[in-house]
Amino acid sequence: MPDQTRSILRGRILSFHRRPDGPGDAGSHRYLEDGIVVVKGGRVTAVEDAGALQGFQGPGVSVEDHGDKLILPGFIDTHIHLPQTQVIASYGAQLMEWLQKYTFPSELRYADRAFAEAGARFFIDELLRNGTTTAVVYGSVHREAIEAFFEESERRGTLMHAGKTMMDRNAPEGLLDTAESGYRDTTAVIKAWHRRGRQRVVVTPRFAITSTPAQLEASGALKRENPDCLLQTHMSENLKEIETARALYPERAGYLDIYDYYGLLGPKTLLGHCIHLREDEIARMHATGSVAVFCPTSNLFIGSGLFDHDGLERGPAPVRIALATDVGGGTSYSMLQSAAEAYKIMQLRGQKLSALQAFDQMTRANAEAIGEATEIGRIEPGLAADLIVLDAHATPAMAHRMEAVRGDLEEELFVLMTMGDDRAVAATYVAGRRV
């Protein structure tokens, strides 16, 4: 049960209510230079200027004063792999070789329930330490491992979307299910965990290369039977991947058409990477409302390519975009670091990512992309009090840089996203409880 005691957080409060057009778009957000967030029962009940503080105080009401630090909604990571925490910093391979050499051996270890439980504890610890309060998570193929993850998330009170990965070919024997067992196990996990408190189950076929037509057909059936669940998979990350997928499905018109044929596209579908898209695929993603998930640190580290953010968002057929770390191909659990690398990729493409746009993406926009806009992503009465406190003076180098910022909010946000990491997260709150 959520704590019914009223608590108050004081500090500088920032929350977005729409996509910023670019730098200087003050109408995109609410910013209180000295404000309070009132929390009860795990939810925000009021957001006011600090002058209203006395009216909310009373017996048993705690006040945490964060001074001039920034209070924001918790970050949301839309693509991350639970069993890849020990794959980060694995040298020297592109996607297909990287999977065989590093990823699959790591995921095999999650057949051990005790190992999976320890992995879930570490994983959630790292997310919270980096200010990420919600993530969309790929599990291993093992049903027991994703159940261990949900048990740990429930214990922490975190809102998590996660799924048992489905793979029935082109992986080691210990990582293979079947079309039938993948369907059966996912159905069982949905019945046990979907919307049990703050837990959400995701239908998770890894990608076309590791799923037979029968398994993709079963994934489509799961999507139709459970329309409230997200579906996640990978799409057009690497040129060799695209070539392999098309060779395995020669009857289909292209990579995206594989997923389209089996009924996997739609507004609840998250397609990881989407770097090498054709015009007809972009048009189809637009028509179906499917989401392209931008994973910048992973794309750079594995050498996959440069995501065309503005080409997708501002083209003739706009595509919805989310931002993610993609650990363990990604090199950091920090959404701040992901935003920094997104900025650099866009620079190389002649595009711009303002600090306002980046922080909106990590909070409100990512919540909207995963269908949680009425629950998280903003600091507003009625929404969950998943909050973080950021300190732009967290390191000596940041403090030195901040001496020249002189109270400019957007410059401060840019310092946080380019120089910040877990050290800039002064506090993380899950459902109003400091964790």
431 torsion bin: left (phi>0), alpha (psi -120 to 50), beta (else): left
Residue 350 lies in a domain: no
Tokens of 187: 């159905």
Please tell me the distance from the alpha carbon of residue 79 to that of residue 328, in angstroms, as a whole number.
10
Question: Are both 229 and 310 inside the same structural domain?
Answer: yes
Q: How far is CA 280 from the centre of its chain?
A: 27
Query: Do 206 and 258 fall into the same domain?
Result: yes
Let me know if residue 339 belongs to a domain: no
Which 3 state secondary structure label does DSSP give 100? Answer: helix
Local structure of residue 26 (DSSP, 8 states):
G
The two structure tokens encoding residue 260: 């389209």
Q: Is residue 347 situated within a structural domain? A: no
**C-beta separation of 342 from 322 below 8 A:** no
Instruction: Report DSSP letters for 173-205, one per residue.
Output: GGG---HHHHHHHHHHHHHHHTTSTTEEEEEEE
Q: Does one domain contain both 50 and 89?
A: no
Return the structure tokens found at 130.
């980096």
Decide if 367 contacts 375 (C-beta within 8 A). yes
How far is Cα 358 from Cα 419, in angstroms, rounded to an integer?
14
Q: How many CB atoms lie within 10 A of CB 404?
A: 9
CB neighbour list of residue 313: distance below 8 Å, 6 or more residues apart: 319, 321
Residues 268, 183 share a domain: yes
* Residue 164's CATH number: 3.20.20.140
Each residue's pLDDT, cut to its tens digit, for the chain (435 residues) gives 555 689 999 999 999 999 999 999 999 999 999 999 999 999 999 999 999 999 999 998 999 999 999 999 999 999 999 999 999 988 877 777 878 888 888 899 999 999 999 999 999 999 999 999 999 999 999 999 999 999 999 999 999 999 999 999 999 999 999 999 999 999 999 999 999 999 999 999 999 999 999 999 999 999 999 999 999 999 999 999 999 999 999 999 999 999 999 999 999 999 999 999 999 999 999 999 999 999 999 999 999 999 999 999 999 999 999 999 999 999 999 999 999 999 999 999 999 999 999 999 999 999 999 999 999 999 999 999 999 999 999 999 999 999 999 899 999 999 999 999 999 999 999 999 999
Q: Which domain holds residue 257?
A: 75-333
Same domain, 212 and 264: yes
